[in-house]
Amino acid sequence: MGLDDSEAVTARQLFQELIHKFKKQKIEDPEISARWIVEEAVGLTGADFFTKQDEKLTVRMVAAADSMSDRRIKGEPLQYVVGHWGFRELDLAVDHRALIPRPETESVVEKGIQYLKSLTSSNGEVLKVVELGTGTGAIALSIAKEVPETKVHATDVSAEALSLTRSNLAGLGRAASNVSLCEGSWFDPLPDVLRGELDLIVSNPPYVSESDELPLVVKDWEPGLALFAEANGFAHLLHIAVEARSWLKPNGMLLLECAEAQCFKLKSLLISRGYEKVTIGLDLAGRERMVSGYRPANDISAEHFSGAMSALKSGKFVVTTTDTVPGILAAYSNSDAVITTYVAKGRPLDQPMPVLVSGIEQALQLVEFSDKATALAREHWPGPLTLVATRLDGPDPVHKGNTLGVRVPDLGWLRLLIDEVGPVTGSSANVHDLLPENSAEKAAASLHLTPGYVVPGSSETDVASTVLDVTKSEARVLRLGAIDISDQKM
């Protein structure tokens, strides 16, 4: 624009000139860009923008506006141009070192804060929170400010991003003492003392595929390290979901932002990794944009989990509690191990045993589901519903039948075990034609063979699963059990 000693312009004139300039250069939202730049260059905020528009500007003010407008015309994001941006109750410094905080992430923070506040009402303990990939610090600092009872650890692999976080932390006030910054990849820099102690793990990780088309204002200016991920954008979401469970305390929440198209895949992953109450959440625009899940309160000990996993991997069978009756488990891929369970039960080899899977993905590696069958699985899994479907690879190697009954158990630790070792037989742990025992120890003692491992405890119910045949277009009830399907449209 330019300005000399004999000529002065007002904020109103500067504003109109910038709008004209931006429209000519086809800048998106020219009025918004012009207003933000005028406010920043002149020092106007809120109502001052309207009440002081006719005040004369200094040479320095106009020069600052010219400099910022030139950057905006070159395509630089408005947030980087003005150097700060609002996020919930914070005004954050933003620049090329980190992603620009976005409204959809505010919805993620809101969900996390609501959960933390529900905990503060029941106990006075300090709540432990980790944010992974903190960037500007928007999530971590918002939580620290709005939930004073928290101790927040924020990690980032980028030293540059963390330097920006420190700048924002310095302006947080008293709440800054509740935030610790850790440089490193995801969980790596966290003190091991936090393992199994976290109330909330939250992250907005890179989830964009490198093949995705992004607006140039994003692709050319925001850091690629914070945008892109391998495996079609899913690599970091997968890593965090797998690792986070052991860092959470019982009933602790994992909360992840993702793309709308990734929500169902991420939900399925959390289910298969043994999280419970897994849900998809909406952002402010009503789009699916986050997935959350909780570590179950009823996990078995690490010793029993390891013992069961070792036995299954070595070809032995395991007796354990399930969400129905005590079950006898063997790796389904090991026919010799499966036959051992038939011998232990005294069950004829021509009678099929159901198979437990960690989620729909594992099921679809074994059987063929129609759309109706998939809908039933999505509605009732995890849970005591066994779906009998056509086996994909021909007759079963043991019972020789062309169908297979599959289900996803409700117990989170059992789903995690199955996800680690693969699908397992899931028959009740009782001698053939006898009623099953309620405790795993008694069930194991009643068998004809000694299990490789017994996970002690009693099952939550003595009712077997409901069994539906979904090999035809209309599902058919083979056995009524724990799930009442009388009102289901099949």
200: tokens are 């909330």
DSSP class of 261: G
Average pLDDT of the chain, as a whole number = 93
Q: What is the pLDDT of residue 463?
A: 77
Whether residue 90 is predicted with pLDDT greater than 50 in this model: the reply is yes
| Closest to 298 in 3D by CA, of 409, 450, 393, 215 | 409
pLDDT of the residue at 6: 41
Instruction: Report whether pLDDT(391) > 80.
Output: yes
Check residues 210 and 22 and name the one with the higher pLDDT: 22
Question: Using 50, 70 and 90 to split pLDDT, how confident is the model at 70?
Answer: very high
Distances (CA, A) of 407 to 103, 192, 366, 453: 39, 36, 11, 22
pLDDT at 355: 97
Helix (H) or strand (E) holding 477: strand 476-479
Taking the C-alpha atoms of residue 472 and residue 369, their distance in angstroms, rounded to an integer, is 10
The DSSP element (H or E) to which 453 belongs, if any, is strand 453-454
Tell me how crowded residue 281 is: count the other CB atoms within 10 A of its CB.
17
pLDDT of residue 27: 93
4 or 329, which is more confident? Answer: 329
Per-residue pLDDT reduced to its tens digit, 251-260: 999 999 999 9
Bigger pLDDT: 168 or 28? 168
Dihedral through CA 75, CA 78, CA 84, CA 90, nearest 10?
-130
Mean pLDDT, residues 291-306 taken together: 96
Which residue's structure tokens are 């905080």? Answer: 101
Residues 6+ away with beta carbon under 8 Å from 419: 272, 273, 274, 358, 359, 362
User: What is the C-alpha to C-alpha distance for residues 459 and 139, in angstroms, rounded to an integer?
Assistant: 40
Q: Which amino acid is at 247?
A: W
Residues 34-63: tens digit of each pLDDT: 999 999 999 888 777 888 888 899 999 999
Query: Are the C-beta atoms of residues 154 and 142 closer than 8 Å to each other?
Result: no
Angle at 313 between CA 310 and CA 410, to 5 degrees: 80
Closest CA to 136 of 113, 109, 174, 115: 109
Per residue in 173-221, pLDDT (tens digit) is 999 999 999 999 999 999 999 999 999 999 999 999 988 888 888 989 9
* pLDDT tens-digit series, residues 242-253: 999 999 999 999
pLDDT of amino acid 122: 60
Q: In 404-474, where does DSSP find H-type helix?
A: 412-421, 440-446
Residue type present at position 123: N
**CA–CA separation, 139 vs 402, rounded Å?**
52
Predicted pLDDT at 3: 45
pLDDT at position 7 over 80: no
- 3 state DSSP class of 164: helix
Q: What is the pLDDT of residues 98-154, one digit of tens each?
A: 999 999 999 999 999 999 999 976 667 899 999 999 999 999 999 999 999 999 999
Residues 6 or more apart in contact with residue 48 via CB below 8 angstroms: none
217-233 burial, b for 16+ CB within 10 Å, e for fewer?
beeebbbebbbbbeebb
What single string gives the DSSP state of each residue in 93-110?
Answer: E--TTSPPP-HHHHHHHH
Confidence of residue 486 (pLDDT cuts 50, 70, 90): low
